[in-house]
Structure 1
Amino acid sequence: MTTLAGKTALVTGGSRGIGRAIAKRLGRDGARVAVHYGNNEVAAKETAAAIEAAGGQAFTIQARLGVPGDAETLWAAFDAQADGLDILINNAGILGDQAEIQDITGSNFDHVFAVNTRAPFFISQHGLRRLRDGGRIINIGTMLSHGSAMPRSITYAMSKGALDVLTQMLAKQLGPRGITVNTVAPGVIDTDMHEGRLVGDALAWLSSLSPMGRIGTPEDVADTAAFLASDDSRWVTGQWIDVSGGTLL
């Protein structure tokens, strides 16, 4: 497919997991993909190489998120290799400590919000002057902002819930430019973010939460993001799209 031919996309956290799957899918659809990474340069280059091996175009950019000046650093690296943007995927995020409210520390709370909320806010802010009319912003959220099945993920869910608000506000603001803004909200996805957790009884229980009887794959999310990045989704904006296999039913 070449539905995104001539487009430039940026995927934050594009070196691994959901971000890698999205980057590869957008590359396969014809976009030139900026694969952002924080620390793992090897993984980012592997993702870019996979895109190019499949006939696509990609380049890597490095910026540690959750620190002062992160958005400026990211965009400076992007501008050195690209002239303008069509698709922004705010994917990068961290789980933080998995604990109930009484056990959450201030430092952990602040770090999760710095990476999951503050970084995409200012990446989007700085990106607006680079984003072409008719572009796309896709925020990767979580089903947990609309359900309380996992109270030990309270900080993560709160930080991603703020993206739901960002999506609606930006959709309203940017509509006159033909830019759509949507949230993709995955359920439990089999990535290294959950390394060591998706085994045995835990895996069986999590799989049972979906009527489809399994947990999700990165490709399940990537294919939804690809639709929202394409012209097929031109009349969809400001939406929160559940990609949890019906876990919240």
Structure 2
Amino acid sequence: LRIKIDEMVLTLPDPTAWASLENDDLERIEFIKAFKDTAVQWRTVEQYYEYTWNEETFGMDEHTWLLYVGAYNNLLNEEQIIYEESISTPLPGKTKLSRNQRIDAAHILSLIDSKVDSSGAMQFADKETLRLIYEDIQELSNRGEHIQAMLLKDFVEQELVPGKITSNITFDDAFEAWKKEQEQVVIQAFAKEWGIVDQDDILAKSVSAYSEMQPDVIPYFEDVIGSVEYEIAENKAAGNQLEHKMKLREKMPEWIAETRQRYN
């Protein structure tokens, strides 16, 4: 395991700098392969009943390992490989984080709920609370949830900082409502770009019904294609109605998967 870890570190010395590999296919593939080899070996080591994380023996502290897990997951997300079986998930009962509790969106929303001042009509966060929130958002990104982290950051900056969240709502509910609004904006923009006449909200229904478990199935696909009017589309690069619909058929699966991944 120590050998594998050392080899992996050579491909990405700083796991929080994973974005530097996004546009370099060779280096990204090299890191992903090195990480997979390391993770498989780690899972073998983890099978032992006396297993505990040993920084001296492994050559890395557990928190840094979790950052490498995050780098791997973020780079897979960038490639939209979201159905691959995880090889970096700890076995049940084996999760022992080296310096803090689990960091996820629910944890950050709970932190916000517990720290903000809700004595007035609108909820307010002081500088120290915002510092803690942004720190955890960055940690969430480093742990492999970059898309979710950036969404949370936008929510904080657009809703909490300007004082738009009333004191009679939880941050969890406020975040979910805000995400729905953002998703609708994206859906409407896509409809305008492609000239989708969405009188019955067919595009929104398609997004809502889409399942990541069946990525090749696009709900209401033919209905969406059939509602297209090339003349009103903002994107007229295809040149005619037939070519336009063909391009939309190619674009739709990628777009709907990205939209669901971001807002679901």
> Going by fraction, where is strand more abundant, 1 or 2?
1
Report if TM-score (shorter chain) is over 0.5. no
Q: Which has the higher contact order (CA 8 A, sep 6+)?
A: 1
TM-score under structure 2 normalisation? 0.25
> Going by fraction, where is helix more abundant, 1 or 2?
2
